[in-house]
Every structure is written in structure tokens, then in C-alpha cells.
Amino acid sequence: MPYVNKPRPYKKEYEMYDGTPAVKKKRAARNKARAIMEKAGLVHKGDGKEVDHKKPLSKGGKTVRSNLRVVDDNDNRGFPRNSDHSLKRNV
């Protein structure tokens, strides 16, 4: 617990990470994807679903309807792991 007995430096965290142009661009792409799927009526605020890019943005995917899908939040936030915490192979 790094912030025991002292306040967390939110402003500094924003300046160092969240406020950087690269992170702002990624956040805008995620927000755009969510808006596209909300407009299509496939997700709603607070439904526990997330919008996933079939081909990730980092691999050259685009934020267009044909590259988006709705997945459960647990399916989008992690990878299956073995008991030794190594990644399971995708079959």
C-alpha cells in the first residue's frame, strides 16, 4: 500500500500518465467504440458488458462497427491461466 498516511497524488498521476496524448487517444477510441454500440442498442450503461475490438487497435484494427463486439467484462479483462499462473494456450 504505497499511500499509507499520505494523500494520493492524483494530479501528478494524471500529468504523468492519464493526461499524455497517447493515453488520451486510446481513451477516445474506447469511448467512440462504446458510443457506436450504444447507438446500435447492444449495450447500455451499467449492464456489465464491454465493447471489444475483434482486431485490437494495437494490431492495426479500426473503431468501426464491423470490428466491434460485445463481451462480458470478465472475458475482456484477463486471459485464462494455468495453476502456475502461466497463460493457457488459445485453441
Q: Is residue 90 part of a domain?
A: no
Q: Is residue 1 part of a domain?
A: no
Q: Is residue 57 part of a domain?
A: yes
Which three cell numbers mark 62?
Answer: 479500426
pLDDT at residue 50 greater than cutoff 70: yes
Q: Is residue 27 part of a domain?
A: yes
Q: Is residue 16 part of a domain?
A: yes
pTM beyond cutoff 0.85: no
Q: Is residue 89 part of a domain?
A: no
Q: Domain tally for the chain?
A: 1
Span 10-40, pLDDT tens digits: 899 888 888 999 999 989 999 999 999 999 9
Host domain of residue 65? 10-76
Q: Is residue 25 part of a domain?
A: yes
